[in-house]
């Protein structure tokens, strides 16, 4: 059986397998059981004009694959790199999420720190999270893979 790729604008719209008579002979006598039906007899001329015989091509092209040489070879599509706006939006969302974690960790203790009411351990914890929040605010959100600061590791003591 022949295999075809329906190609429009250099992209595979769909792969097609040639059909054959399998139940019985063609009543018109043109085909016998198991004969391949020519694509020109199954589809319109306009559709057939966009078919490429890919029987001998390996690997077989799939939907969405592209060809730049008239169907002699095919390749899986390459994803477009993210735009500057997408990079900034993704990084902003990540920064905001990490900042929320830091804000939750320091919730309600900023005033106590400013007033000198925290013990040494709580003061060190607050300073570590404050330094982390400062580092988060300095991350360049326009780069594709920014270097995110490491969250403070706080040991919890059993009371």
pLDDT in tens, 50-100: 999 999 998 999 999 999 888 889 999 888 899 999 999 999 999 999 999
Please count the CA atoms within 13 angstroms of the CA of 32 that sit on its side-chain side: 0
Total domains in the chain come to 2
Q: Are 15 and 54 in contact (CB under 8 A)?
A: yes
User: pLDDT (tens digit, 9 = 90+) per residue, 107-156?
Assistant: 989 899 999 999 999 999 999 999 999 999 999 999 999 999 999 987 65
User: Do residues 68 and 103 share a domain?
Assistant: no
- Cα angle 153, 103, 143 (rounded to 5 degrees) comes to 80
Where is the domain boundary, 78, 97, 132?
A: 78
Do residues 105 and 156 share a domain? yes
Tell me how far apart the alpha carbons of residues 1 and 19 are, in angstroms, rounded to a whole number: 8
Is the pLDDT at 28 greater than 80, yes or no? no
Q: Both 68 and 117 in a single domain?
A: no
Residues 46 and 120 reside in one and the same domain: no
| Residues in contact with 88: Cβ distance below 8 Å, sequence separation at least 6, in sequence order | 141, 142
Instruction: Residue 66: give the domain boundaries.
Output: 1-78
Residue 10 gets the label, from left (phi > 0), alpha (psi -120 to 50) or beta, of: left
Are 136 and 70 within one domain? no
State whether 89 and 72 are in the same domain.
no
CB 47 within 8 Å of CB 6? yes
The side-by-side arrangement of strands in the sheet containing 11-17 is 11-17, 3-8, 51-53
Residues 93 and 155 in one domain: yes
Contact 60, 77 (CB under 8 A): no
| pLDDT at site 96 | 98
15, 49, 78 — which closes off a domain?
78
Same domain, 53 and 102: no
24: pLDDT confidence band, cut at 50, 70 and 90?
low
User: 22 and 71, same structural domain?
Assistant: yes
The whole-model pTM stands at 0.56
Which of 90, 119, 125, 82 minimizes the C-alpha distance to 105?
125
85 in the same domain as 72? no
């Amino acid at each position: 059986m022949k295999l075809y790729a329906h190609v429009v604008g250099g992209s595979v719209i769909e792969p097609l397998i040639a059909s054959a008579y399998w139940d019985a002979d063609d009543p018109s006598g043109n085909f016998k059981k198991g004969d391949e039906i020519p694509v020109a007899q199954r589809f319109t001329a306009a559709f057939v004009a966009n078919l490429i015989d890919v029987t001998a091509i390996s690997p077989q092209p799939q939907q969405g694959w592209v060809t730049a040489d008239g169907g002699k070879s095919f390749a899986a599509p390459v994803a477009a790199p993210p735009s500057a706006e997408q990079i900034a939006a993704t990084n902003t969302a990540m920064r905001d999420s990490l900042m929320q974690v830091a804000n939750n960790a320091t919730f309600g203790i900023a005033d106590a720190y400013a007033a000198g009411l925290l013990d040494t351990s709580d003061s060190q914890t607050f300073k570590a999270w404050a330094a982390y929040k400062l580092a988060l605010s300095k991350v360049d959100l326009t780069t594709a893979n920014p270097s995110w600061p490491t969250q403070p590791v706080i040991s919890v003591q059993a009371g």
